[in-house]
């Protein structure tokens, strides 16, 4: 079955410029994710360079002064001085949401409300950083979904999709828009953009298909569409687990009509201000005392400043690695190459050293959270391991083709 869910191209190769693999998934409408579904994978041009790298080349030619002017025009349209919030900034208190909320407030005189979709299991450092963000001077609404439901959906997403992080992703996409509508805040600005997170502009545009709506297609559904959570229909979940619609509502997208009616605009700051993850890190450190991973680096990678909040993070990257052959270090290294923080050569050796490292620190917590045994965990992992990507050598699974092999870019 695992072959079905992988891309049709059997050949594996890596970007000549960064370290991205052609097997990377590029996102889909989360509410349509089903078991055995074929997913889109990273696109490359005919010179063997991934479109995310090409996007960064375009960014170098971007007139950022002009972009900032566009941003200011948008902000001027929404700015209020009547004692109401005028922009909603979703985030966790990580480097990107800190950067965004601060510049909106201090540089552009906006009145942001910040909001947070709680991680499944907060890490100590995630909770600390969240609190420092609020301490630094922001109102925040923290939404914590019903843990019984969150656990159930995490388990279903793990078993059906090998994607235990899906409930968090659903909340990231859907909760801020619903909150903005309720609070009558007409502008939502995210601190990170999908294009920067190695997906590439072209792939995202395919999802956006604007229909006179100022909200990306990833963030809402169309009337009459069936909604899947953790790979099962909401109808099935409600019947099987005796849940009400309200139990699932926080995880469900708003419909296009409701979004249109609310007249909300949703955008990413990275479309207007040149993004650099390292600069945001230094900014966040200075402004709100943002702290890095106390272990020195996160498991599965060499970096210490991204995705620190949730004990499930490590399993998100590890399961992705099993399905696509590229993990958390590839993610970070590809992004840092594009931002000219490290060279491709350095990236290759970092990927070789850290990619696919098992997230053992919170393994017990994770098993307890979704109430499965170690055996069930590894059986599920093996169910999704593609024979196209992996082979057994001396009793151990190894990648058939990795970025540090010779001729890896062909």
Nearer of residues 50 and 180 to Zn ion, judged by Cβ: 50
Q: How far apart are CA 202 and CA 200, in angstroms?
A: 6
Joined tokens for residue 308: 């620190």
Nearer of residues 116 and 330 to Zn ion, judged by Cβ: 330
Q: How far is the CB of 20 from Zn ion (least distance, A)?
A: 5
Nearer of residues 145 and 200 to Zn ion, judged by Cβ: 200
Joined tokens for residue 369: 């959270």
Q: How far is the CB of 351 from Zn ion (least distance, A)?
A: 13
Nearer of residues 255 and 346 to Zn ion, judged by Cβ: 346
Q: How far is the CB of 193 from Zn ion (least distance, A)?
A: 16
Nearest to 182 by CA among 192, 174, 190: 174
Q: How far is the CB of 58 from Zn ion (least distance, A)?
A: 13
Question: Cα separations (Å) of 91 from 44, 96, 278, 316, 348?
Answer: 31, 8, 17, 18, 31
Nearer of residues 17 and 123 to Zn ion, judged by Cβ: 17
If you ran DSSP here, which 8-state letter would residue 195 be given? Answer: I
Q: How far is the CB of 206 from Zn ion (least distance, A)?
A: 18
Spell out the alpha helix ranges (H) of 273-401.
Answer: 277-288, 313-324, 328-338, 344-354, 363-370, 374-383
Q: Tell me which residue has tokens 């990833």.
A: 218
Residue 76: φ, ψ to 5°: -60, -35
Burial class (CB in 10 A: 0-12, 13-18, 19+), 108: middle
Nearer of residues 15 and 71 to Zn ion, judged by Cβ: 15
Nearer of residues 18 and 185 to Zn ion, judged by Cβ: 18
Q: How far apart are CA 108 and CA 102, in angstroms?
A: 9
Q: How far is the CB of 311 from Zn ion (least distance, A)?
A: 30
* Terminal alpha carbon distance of the chain: 27
What residues line the site for Zn ion (CB under 5 A)?
A: 15, 17-18, 20, 50, 53
Q: How far is the CB of 15 from Zn ion (least distance, A)?
A: 3
């Amino acid at each position: 079955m695992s072959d079905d869910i992988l891309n049709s191209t059997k050949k594996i190769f890596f970007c000549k410029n960064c370290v991205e693999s052609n097997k990377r998934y590029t996102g889909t409408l989360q509410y349509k994710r089903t078991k055995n579904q074929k997913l889109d994978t990273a696109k490359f041009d005919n010179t063997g360079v991934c479109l995310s790298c090409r996007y960064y080349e375009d960014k170098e030619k971007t007139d950022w002064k002009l972009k900032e002017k566009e941003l200011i025009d948008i902000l001027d349209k929404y700015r209020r001085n009547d004692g109401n919030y005028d922009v909603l900034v979703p985030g966790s208190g990580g480097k990107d949401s800190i950067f965004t909320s601060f510049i909106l407030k201090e540089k552009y005189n906006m009145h942001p409300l910040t909001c947070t979709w709680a991680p499944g299991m907060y890490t100590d450092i995630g909770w600390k950083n969240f609190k420092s963000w609020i301490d630094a001077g922001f109102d925040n609404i923290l939404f914590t979904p019903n843990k019984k439901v969150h656990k159930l959906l995490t388990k279903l997403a793990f078993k059906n999709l090998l994607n235990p992080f899906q409930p968090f992703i659903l909340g990231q996409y859907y909760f801020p828009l619903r909150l903005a509508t309720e609070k009558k805040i007409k502008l939502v600005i995210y601190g990170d953009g999908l294009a920067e997170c190695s997906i590439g502009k072209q792939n995202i545009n395919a999802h956006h298909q604007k229909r006179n709506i100022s909200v990306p297609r990833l963030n809402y559904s169309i009337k009459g569409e069936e909604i899947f959570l953790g790979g099962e229909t909401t109808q099935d979940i409600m019947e099987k687990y005796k849940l009400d619609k309200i139990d699932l509502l926080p995880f469900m997208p708003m419909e296009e009509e409701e979004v249109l009616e609310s007249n909300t605009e949703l955008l990413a700051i990275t479309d207007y201000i040149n993004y650099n993850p390292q600069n945001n890190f230094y900014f966040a450190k200075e402004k709100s005392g943002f702290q890095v991973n106390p272990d020195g680096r996160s498991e599965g990678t060499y970096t210490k400043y991204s995705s620190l909040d949730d004990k499930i993070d490590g399993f998100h990257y590890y399961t992705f690695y099993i399905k696509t052959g590229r993990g958390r270090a590839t993610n970070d290294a590809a992004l840092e190459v594009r931002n000219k923080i490290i060279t491709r050569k350095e990236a290759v050796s970092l990927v070789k050293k850290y990619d696919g490292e098992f997230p053992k620190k919170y393994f017990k917590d994770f098993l307890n959270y979704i109430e499965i045994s170690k055996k069930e965990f590894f059986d599920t992992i093996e169910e999704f391991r593609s024979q196209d990507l992996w082979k057994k050598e001396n009793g151990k699974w190894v990648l058939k083709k990795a970025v540090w092999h010779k001729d890896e870019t062909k």
